[in-house]
Amino acid sequence: MSPHEIWMQYAYREAEKAYEKGEIPIGAVIVFDSMIIGKGHNQVQTLKDPTAHAEIIAITSAAEYLSSKVLLGCTMYVTLEPCSMCAGAVVLSKMDALYFGAYDNKSGACGSVLNITNNKSLNHQLNVTGGIMDAKCGELIRSFFDVKR
């Protein structure tokens, strides 16, 4: 198992927490100096907050840990390609890298539909790699929506 798959396992566990709560199962962790300093899972329904995505919660947690709005030296692992809101937050936080699981061909903003994370018009770009544990991450989301239908 690669180091990226090991970190993605932690994000996947966060996604499972969301699934158990009836939330869209997306989880995220932020790593700094080989340690998780922020984590989150979707809580949109629970908190009745459209911004309570896994990535936003993880960024808030990491920023609090570092006492900084700038997350240089940090890497995010998230089970689904971030949407435009979350991709924008990742860029604004100035993280070094983003690794995601499943691609989101409907609203992914890290290369699938939009590419906010590497938009040359913005003041920060970052390394992005998708497809880490793609099948497993995608299956959790498909399973969630199969039950909902």
Helix (H, G, I), strand (E, B) or coil at 25: coil
Q: Any idea which residue has 């971030």 for tokens?
A: 82
Cα separation of 54 and 58, whole Å? 6
Catalytic residue among 23, 55, 64, 81: 55
The CA-to-CA distance between both ends of the chain, in Å, stands at 34
DSSP string, 35-84: EEEEEEE--HHHHT-TT--HHHHHHHHHHHHHTSS--TT-EEEEEE---H
Main-chain phi, psi angles of 131, to 5 degrees = 90, 10
20 is catalytic: no
Q: What is the largest CA-CA distance in the chain?
A: 42
Catalogue the active-site residues. 55
